[in-house]
Chains A and B, each alone.
Chain A
Amino acid sequence: EAGVAQSPRYKIIEKRQSVAFWCNPISGHATLYWYQQILGQGPKLLIQFQNNGVVDDSQLPKDRFSAERLKGVDSTLKIQPAKLEDSAVYLCASSLVRGQGKLFTEAFFGQGTRLTVV
């Protein structure tokens, strides 16, 4: 079974530039998450999708971050304009929806995109 795919693996941009990250979840996984992980900290949830609808985006800095999942499969996370403090690893994860024959929905993570803002 293919895992969660993310691209690019690494990105270096200057502050005030824009950047986009792409995620392809595991086939059949209706739930998709984006996390931000700053060095030395645990992952922080940015947004959760169920199919193409947003379930939770309370931690997403909406003045500069946006995310979409138009067809309920792939997702894109964008930052515009980037700040120095956005330097982090951006992780995408996916899981089955509760009720699809499983009580516990394990989340599978991609390898992440390491963003450096200079």
Chain B
Amino acid sequence: LAKTTQPISMDSYEGQEVNITCSHNNIATNDYITWYQQFPSQGPRFIIQGYKTKVTNEVASLFIPADRKSSTLSLPRVSLSDTAVYYCLVNQAGTALIFGKGTTLSVSS
């Protein structure tokens, strides 16, 4: 069973910042938080991963509070091409990824 809870869907407009929050109340000490993105007819693609505090890369930022019971994926200035399903996962390094239903983000002009 997936160890995370996230909204089923979100809507946004181009140029806005989108924040998707994920709840993982039972996260273990050795668990990492990872986000994947999936476009239709493609396999999931890694976006960002973190353990605590804040992580930023060229695509997104990941905010993790001190208790690690939740995390927020932040996508700055989204475009139409960011329309996809976003999955939040928690797992130990080297273990299989267990996916939930994800959050379907729809970006419109």
> Which A residues are within 8 Å of any B CB, using their own CB?
4, 31, 33, 35, 40-45, 48, 55-56, 91, 93, 95, 97-99, 103-112, 114
Q: For the complex formed, measure the closest distance between the CB of A107 and the CB atoms of chain B, giving whole angstroms.
A: 6
Residue among B32, B45, B98 making CB contact with A104, cutoff 8 Å: B32
Residue among B2, B45, B96 making CB contact with A48, cutoff 8 Å: B96
Q: For the complex formed, measure the closest distance between the CB of A85 and the CB atoms of chain B, giving whole angstroms.
A: 18
Residue among B96, B101, B102 making CB contact with A56, cutoff 8 Å: B96
Q: For the complex formed, measure the closest distance between the CB of B91 and the CB atoms of chain A, giving whole angstroms.
A: 10
Q: Which residues of A contact B87 (CB under 8 A)?
A: 42
Q: Which residues of B contact A43 (CB under 8 A)?
A: 44, 97, 99
A44 and B96 CA atoms in complex are apart in Å by 10
Asked if B81 is at the interface of the complex by the 8 Å CB criterion, the answer is no
Asked if B46 is at the interface of the complex by the 8 Å CB criterion, the answer is yes
Q: For the complex formed, measure the closest distance between the CB of B13 and the CB atoms of chain A, giving whole angstroms.
A: 25
- In which size bucket is the chain B interface? 20 to 34
Residue among A44, A99, A108 making CB contact with B99, cutoff 8 Å: A44
CB-based contact B49/A109 at 8 Å: no
CB-based contact B49/A104 at 8 Å: yes
CB-based contact A110/B43 at 8 Å: yes
CB-based contact A111/B41 at 8 Å: yes
Cβ < 8 Å to A, chain B residues 85-109: 85, 87, 93-94, 96-102
